[in-house]
């Protein structure tokens, strides 16, 4: 039997089309991406996380010559948020990336490890996270990690 999975997301072509709170978060992600430590790849990623009380936490990728000792922007921001504001749910994460040519053309997508951390954060607070993925040609807005990680490994998966 063959089955099919589909995801739904919104696509925008200009940051001005986004809700104002997403615009602010995305601009913050763009700014923090420029401060990333990425001397090896030249791929600078920034993430901005909005918590339930409106607090904004940022993170960027931190590379290390001894791969895989570095850390992605998304996990940097989410781990900081969860460690310092353990009682506050993550409502939105905006992710942006640039290279030597500027903002990347297509919306940047989180790696598998970052997707899993987003899933754990959603599970922790029992609340989907709005995910804003930035690119020069378009911006994607997704509701919940299931759209990026549909066949996922959740805590209940441990029960068999």
Residue in 4, 10, 20, 74 annotated catalytic:
74
Buried/exposed code over 83-103 (b: 16+ C-beta within 10 A; e: otherwise): eebeebbbbbbbbbbbeeeee
72 burial (CB, 10 Å; 0-12 / 13-18 / 19+) is buried
Q: Which two tokens stand for residue 99?
A: 């290279």
- 4 part of the active site: no
Which helix (H) or strand (E) segment is 50 a member of?
A: strand 44-51
**Tokens 């923090």 identify what position?**
32
Helix axes 73-84, 20-33, angle to 10 degrees: 110
**Tokens 């749910």 identify what position?**
89
Residue 95 has φ and ψ, to the nearest 5°, of -130, 130
Question: Mind telling me the catalytic residues?
Answer: 74
């Amino acid at each position: 039997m063959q089955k099919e999975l589909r995801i739904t997301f919104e696509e925008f072509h200009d940051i001005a089309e986004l809700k104002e709170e997403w615009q602010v978060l995305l601009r913050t992600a763009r700014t923090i991406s420029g401060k990333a430590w990425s001397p090896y790849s030249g791929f600078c990623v920034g993430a901005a996380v909005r918590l339930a009380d409106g607090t904004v936490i940022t993170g960027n990728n931190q590379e290390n010559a001894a791969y895989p000792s570095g850390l992605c922007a998304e996990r940097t921001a989410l781990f900081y948020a969860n460690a310092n504001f353990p009682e506050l749910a993550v409502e939105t994460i905006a992710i942006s990336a640039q290279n030597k040519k500027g903002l990347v053309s297509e919306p940047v997508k989180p790696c598998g490890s970052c997707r899993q951390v987003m899933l754990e954060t959603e599970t922790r607070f029992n609340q989907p996270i709005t995910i804003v993925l930035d690119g020069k040609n378009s911006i994607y807005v997704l509701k919940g990690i299931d759209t990026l990680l549909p066949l996922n490994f959740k805590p209940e998966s441990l029960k068999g």
